Structure 1
Amino acid sequence: MPLSPWVARQLSKRFNDAHCFVVEPINRMEFKVKDGKMDRLVNLSKKTCSCCEFQIDLLPYSHAFATISKCKREAVEFYVDYYKTTVLMEGYAGSIRSIGHPSEWDTPPHVKQFVVLPSPWRGQARNPRRRRIPSAGKGS
């Protein structure tokens, strides 16, 4: 798959939501999207939407999907590379070396002399206990 399973699920939900929107072109790259509640402005060249979801996730949101399908363009053009599985696999392609047991480490003597202790434990802060004043009808 070109995208991770989580991203594929998110995009399929957003794509299904995009069918009920009305898209009106403003110019070649800007569109007005009516979703029933509010009108949104989508700019495909800047990859922005007035709902800010396109900018936050860096994936096309439902408003952007509606405009992408209106322009008859591929949605893959608007995905950020780090959601693609090829980039994910490249991150794990390098070898990971074991650091071994601490007794095998070559630690300089000036570093070995430092003793690092945890900070002192002080307990959890609490509100002071208050005495309850019973109401007039209740006993002590």
Structure 2
Amino acid sequence: MRERICTCRQFQMDVMLCKHALAIVRKYYMSEYEYCSVYYKKDNLLNTYEVPVYPISDESIWKIPPNVAVNIVLPPKGKIKPGRPQKIRYKNGGESRTKKSRITCGVCGQQGHNRQTCRNIPQTA
């Protein structure tokens, strides 16, 4: 913890606690904020937005040099991959994955099978 190193390397890259380092910090009742980078702290965030940002004027009154105006920038030519495009992005190791719901039988109420494959005889009163 003193060296701020973890085997997952997320602690070194983000300079923010990974789930492994967070578990250690909570186990020994240390301050979580002590191990975060100064860039994530409130004072630096407020200093970042302290300088005012002014809106850009209308595009019609811009003064563009002629050597820049003649250059036409086109989007990159990318190859379209075959097949159906991916709908959901892949989640990395730090993000939680949703758990699949278990199938419950409508006849006997047990999990792991459905009504069509149920081998349990319903109890009649």
What TM-score do the two structures reach when normalised by structure 2? 0.44
What TM-score do the two structures reach when normalised by structure 1? 0.41
Greater fraction of residues in helix = 1
Greater fraction of residues in strand = 1
